[in-house]
Structure 1
Amino acid sequence: MGSPAAHDSQRYFVPAPSAWPFMLTVGLAALVIGVAGYLEHSHVGPVPIWLGVGLSVYIIFRWFQGVARESETGQYSAQVDRTYRWGMSWFIFSEVMFFGAFFGALFYARSLSLPWLGGEGAKLATHVTLWPGFEAVWPSNGPANLGGEFQTIPAFDVPLLNTIILLTSGFTITMAHHALKAGKRTACILWMWATVALGASFLYFQAAEYIHAYHELNLTLHSGIYGSTFFMLTGFHGMHVTLGTIMLLVITLRLMAGHFKPDSHFGFEGVAWYWHFVDVVWIGLFIVVYWL
Structure 2
Amino acid sequence: MKSQIKMSHRHPFHLVDPSPWPLVAAVGALSLTFGGVMFMHNFSGGGQLLSLGVVTILFVMGTWWRDIIREASFEGQHTSAVQEGLRMGMILFIVSEVMFFFAFFWAFFTSSLSPVFNIGGVWPPVGIEVISPWGLPLLNTVLLLSSGASVTWAHHAIVGGSKSEAEDALYLTLVFAVNFTSFQALEYFEAPFAISDGVYGSTFYMATGFHGFHVIIGTIFLSICAVRLYYQHFSRQHHFGFEAAAWYWHFVDVVWLILFLGIYWWGA
* C-alpha distance 48-164 of structure 1, shift in aligned 2 (>3 A): farther
Q: Are positions 1:104 and 2:106 aligned together? A: yes
Report what 1:167 is aligned to: 145
| Structure 1: unaligned runs, 5 residues or longer | 38-45, 119-130, 142-148
Deviation string 1:83-141 (CA, Å, 9 cap, x unpaired) is 101000111111111111111111111113x1xx34xxxxxxxxxxxx5xx62111126
C-alpha separation in 2, matches of 1:177 and 1:109: 40
Secondary structure of the residue aligned to 1:10 is coil
Once the two structures are TM-superposed, the CA of residue 63 in structure 1 deviates from its matched residue by 2.6
291 and 241 in structure 1: CA distance in 2 versus 1, 3 angstrom threshold: same
Instruction: Report the CA distance between 1:30 and its aligned residue.
Output: 9.5
Partner of 1:286: 260
Instruction: Could you tell me which runs of 5 or more consecutive residues in structure 2 were left unpaired when the two chains were aligned.
Output: 41-46
- Determine which of 58, 80, 83 is the counterpart of 1:81: 83
In the superposition, the TM-score normalised over structure 2's length comes to: 0.83
- Following superposition, the deviation at residue 265 of structure 1 comes to 0.8
Q: 1:91 to 1:174 in 2, by over 3 A?
A: same
Closer/same/farther in 2, CA of residues 250 and 231 from structure 1, 3 Å limit:
same
Are the equivalent residues in 1 in contact too, given 2:31–2:50 (CA < 8 A)?
Answer: no
C-alpha distance 61-75 of structure 1, shift in aligned 2 (>3 A): same
Measure the CA separation in 2 of the matches of 1:226 and 1:23. 36
Determine the structure 1 residue equivalent to 2:212: 238
CA distance in 1, matches of 2:174, 2:54: 18
* C-alpha RMSD over aligned residues: 3.1
Cα distance in 1, alignment partners of residues 35 and 206 from structure 2: 15
1:143-162 deviation digits (Å, cap 9, x = unpaired): xxxxxx44211101111111
Could you tell me how far apart the structure 1 residues matched to 2:105 and 2:125 are? 16
Residue 64 of structure 1 aligns with which residue?
65
Q: Is 1:151 aligned to 2:136, yes or no? A: no
Equivalenced residues, count: 255
What is the Cα deviation at residue 47 of structure 1? 8.7
**Alpha-carbon contact 1:8-1:77 (below 8 Å) kept:** no
Structure 1 counterpart of 2:26: 22
Contact conserved, 2:32 with 2:49, CA < 8 A, in 1? no
Could you tell me how far apart the structure 2 residues matched to 1:245 and 1:85 are? 20
SS of 2:69's partner is helix
Other-structure match for 1:201: 179
Alignment of 1:128-147 (within 5 A): 135-140=120-125
